[in-house]
Amino acid sequence: MVNDTIGDFIVRLTNAGAIKKASVSVPYSAFKMAVAEKLKDMGLVRDIEKKGKKVRKTLDVVLKYNEAGKHVISGVKRISKPGRRMYKSVHEIIPVRYGHGALVLSTPKGVLTDKEARKAKVGGEALFEIW
């Protein structure tokens, strides 16, 4: 059993991209689906699909590569962990990698990127940085 489901999810994405897999399958949860949809909106994954019924539901994520065959996700840094939750107010949210990356936050308005959270003037739990 995995204690850090979001950490496991992003590690599976980066590891699958490192070995040039076309897609990766992870156990389904509504929160992982929301994070995957946000990654799709950001253009970091090609497609997401929910498969299975009841207990055996999985989330299939189709990875995205550039023209050179390199994975578009070049790095991920987990911020908030199960042992130490990290929260950021709207004033503490700063651009990641000089605007070339994104901070993914869990807010009362759903899963948002740093730009969307600043625009909505809302803070939340800083899940991870991705670039």
- What is the average per-residue pLDDT within 4-24? 96
Report the pLDDT value the prediction gives residue 2, as an integer from 0 to 100: 85
Report the pLDDT value the prediction gives residue 107, as an integer from 0 to 100: 98
Q: Per residue in 44-89, pLDDT tens?
A: 999 999 999 988 999 999 999 999 999 999 999 999 999 999 999 9
How many residues are given for the chain?
A: 131
Q: What is the fold, at CATH topology level, of the domain defined by 5-63?
A: Ribosomal Protein S8; Chain: A, domain 1 (3.30.1370)
Sign of CA dihedral 31, 37, 42, 48: positive
What's the pLDDT band for 23 if we cut at 50, 70, 90? very high
- What is the average per-residue pLDDT within 118-130? 97
Q: Per residue in 80-116, pLDDT tens?
A: 999 999 999 999 999 999 989 999 999 999 999 999 9
Note whether 5-63 and 76-130 share their fold. Answer: no
Domain boundaries, the chain: 5-63, 76-130
Residue 16 CA to residue 20 CA, distance in Å, equals 6
- Picking from 101, 105, 98, the residue whose alpha carbon sits closest to that of residue 128 is 105
Report the pLDDT value the prediction gives residue 59, as an integer from 0 to 100: 97
- Identify the CATH number of the domain defined by range 76-130: 3.30.1490.10
The amino acid at residue 76 is V
